[in-house]
Chain A
Amino acid sequence: MPGAESLVWVAAVTVVIWLGIFVYCLALDRRVRRLEEEQ
């Protein structure tokens, strides 16, 4: 079973996944906004 060190690793991986999703959504949002402004 995971000890304290493994827990930190799992938390770090979760943060990286979340940051990936967040940055992707921000980029997508910017792109959609640009398309809306072009209209």
Chain B
Amino acid sequence: MTENRTRALLHWVLGGWVLLVIAAAFFYAPSAAGFKGESARIVFFHVPQAWVAVLAFCVNLVASIRYMRKRNPLDDARAAAAARLGLVFSVLATVTGSIFANVMWNSFWNWDPREVSIVILLLIYAAYFALREAIPDEERRASLSAAYAVLAFVTMPFLVFVVPRIYWSLHPDTIIGAKGNLKLQMDSRMLQTLLGSLVGFTGLFVWLYTLDVRLARVLLARRGREEE
């Protein structure tokens, strides 16, 4: 009961927090120099979406390795839930990036290395679900998906962090430099809003992920009872 109340309280705190972040993104943070009009404000949504996608793919990797070690079906459900959210947030990051590209460079798509690399990453994780759908046997599906997830993750740092730094890109400077150094040269109000948004989006990811895993746990228990 107390757990449910704490959980409900956290949900409402998150709801209020994100509303504050939205207000800050549009009315507290100043306009950024060097960008057309107010286009830079999209950074407060685009960067956290990309961050959550990377976080989700990391969770997918951890759950997949856990499945390979312990063969617990719940770990397979955890991996699938994380990959699903990673895919959703990658799509959102791609869409918000395209909107920004259209404002800045008058085209939604510019064949920029960062645009191409995120789409390749999307396709790699979309294939993860194609693989899952193609195998009816649950144990076999979970084993092959876990092995595929490990291979898919190997490409992630390369596509997200390496490729965009090797080639010339239209994309604005990244927050983390090529040598892993922080390049947070932005107005303090913008930085506060960005960090607040990162916290909010991470909270939203945790909420959605736990919901998916709790539902999977219920379904697995129900199936276990039916088989008895």
Contacts and interface: CB of A to CB of B under 8 A. Distances in A.
Interface residues of A, number: 20
A1 B103 CA distance: 8
Given A11-B22, A28-B211, A36 B37 contact: no
B37 A2 contact: yes
A3 to B, nearest CB: 9
B211 A32 contact: yes
B218 interface: yes
Q: Is the interface of B mostly helix, strand, loop or mixed?
A: helix
A21 B92 CA distance: 14
Interface of B: 4, 7, 11, 15, 18-19, 22-23, 25-27, 36-39, 45, 103, 204, 207-208, 211, 214-215, 218, 221-222
Given A1-B38, A35-B218, A22 B15 contact: yes
Contact of A18 (B18, B26, B207): B18
Nearest to A38: B218
B190 to A, nearest CB: 15
Given A1-B103, A15-B19, A21-B204, 4 more contacts: A1-B36, A7-B27, A18-B19, A25-B11
Contacts of B204: 21, 25
B38 A7 contact: yes
Nearest to B42: A10
A23 B103 CA distance: 31
A11 B211 contact: no
